[in-house]
Amino acid sequence: MSSDQKLHPTPIRFKRLLLTGAAGGLGSELRKRLHRYCDVLRISDLAGLEAEAGHEEVQLVRLEDAAAVHSLVEGVDAVIHLGGVSTEQPWDPILQGNIVGTYNLYEALRKHGVKRVVFASSNHVTGFYRQDEVVSPSEPMRPDGLYGLSKAFGESLSRLYFDRYGIETACVRIGSSFPEPRNRRMLATWMSYDDLERLVIAALTTPVLGHTVMYGMGDNTTTWWDNTSARHVGYRPQDSSEQFRAKVEAADPRPDLSDPANIYQGGPFVRTGPFD
């Protein structure tokens, strides 16, 4: 599918959408796609962004800067929140970007009356489930590191802001969204960029979202996650990792099953990291 085509069949037009983390891997991809659904796309990151088209507004903001985040959300209809630390890192950047930053965002949303968010959570919220289990969002979180723990905080924070203030959020526990699966684990966790777009648009437009936790995954034959409780969102993945299976398995014919990375869903994230 060309990124110039609109994947959603119905006309959808937001006045202004905010995309955080717009300079990142998924942000760069969604930046190319989301403008088709809104008059103005406000894009934000730490650095590395310039407006390239008339429909774009750029704000360079550190999420831990509360005042800047308050200006960032002014006048937006909804937020796609991708910004923050996206890998296992030392505690301080995680604290600033993912804990303080997400708190600042929800406080700003509350003050500005913004009512809908797509929050990029992560499969690493439940990374310590085994690969022979199928997990649903109602099961207890089992983060596989500080990064996963910070996403668990974001999910709970957004739950509080829904229960208390009615801000609706889709917490999307993204698996692995890349052009194609890079290893055996990603045969279960992969989601194409087209499916990512489908998921984001479904979460932005479903009439009643409430507070929904769901996994961001494709139509994969092998899966570790059950999205039944999020059917009301109307996300129908259309791309499967199966087309890449032969290539992926040939590159790694005999996985080491004594390696925790091959036993637990979080893969290499479950190993003791360099920050202990």
Ligand X SMILES: NC(=O)c1ccc[n+]([C@@H]2O[C@H](COP(=O)([O-])OP(=O)(O)OC[C@H]3O[C@@H](n4cnc5c(N)ncnc54)[C@H](O)[C@@H]3O)[C@@H](O)[C@H]2O)c1
Q: 8-47: which residues touch ligand X (CB under 6 A)?
A: 21, 23-27, 45-46
The residue behind tokens 């990291």 is 273
Of the pair 176, 183, the CB lying nearest ligand X is at: 176
Of the pair 85, 166, the CB lying nearest ligand X is at: 85
Of the pair 39, 67, the CB lying nearest ligand X is at: 67
Q: Which of 59, 76, 80, 101 binds ligand X (CB under 6 A)?
A: 101
Closest CA to 121 of 69, 76, 85, 160: 85
Q: In degrees rounded to 5, what are phi and psi of residue 66?
A: -60, -45
Q: Which of 33, 64, 203, 269 binds ligand X (CB under 6 A)?
A: 64
Give the separation between CA 42 and CA 73, rounded to whole angstroms. 9
Kindly state whether residue 148 participates in binding ligand X, applying the rule CB under 6 A. no
268 class by beta-carbon count within 10 Å (0-12 exposed, 13-18 middle, 19+ buried): middle
E-only strand ranges, 12-161? 14-20, 38-45, 56-60, 78-81, 116-122
Give the separation between CA 263 and CA 257, rounded to whole angstroms. 7
Q: In degrees rounded to 5, what are phi and psi of residue 114?
A: -85, 135
Closest CA to 170 of 39, 38, 79: 79
Kindly state whether residue 95 participates in binding ligand X, applying the rule CB under 6 A. no
Smallest gap from Cβ 5 to ligand X, in A, equals 22
* Active site (annotated) includes residue 106: no
Q: Which of 35, 42, 62, 185 binds ligand X (CB under 6 A)?
A: 62
Q: Distance of alpha carbon 43 from its chain centroid, rounded?
A: 16
Give the separation between CA 137 and CA 150, rounded to whole angstroms. 17
Smallest gap from Cβ 232 to ligand X, in A, equals 22
Stated length of the chain:
276
Which among 37, 106, 147, 215 is annotated as catalytic?
Answer: 147
* Region binding ligand X by CB under 6 A among candidate stretches 84-92, 228-236, 238-246, 262-270: 84-92
Smallest gap from Cβ 6 to ligand X, in A, equals 22
| Residues 166-205, mask of contacts with ligand X (x by CB under 6 A) | --------x-xx----------------------------
Give the separation between CA 257 and CA 12, rounded to whole angstroms. 47
Size of the site for ligand X (CB under 6 A): 24
Smallest gap from Cβ 11 to ligand X, in A, equals 27
Q: Which two tokens stand for residue 217?
A: 């995954």
Of the pair 11, 78, the CB lying nearest ligand X is at: 78
Residues engaged in binding ligand X (CB under 6 A) = 21, 23-27, 45-46, 62-64, 82-86, 96-97, 101, 120, 122, 174, 176-177
- Positions marked active-site: 147
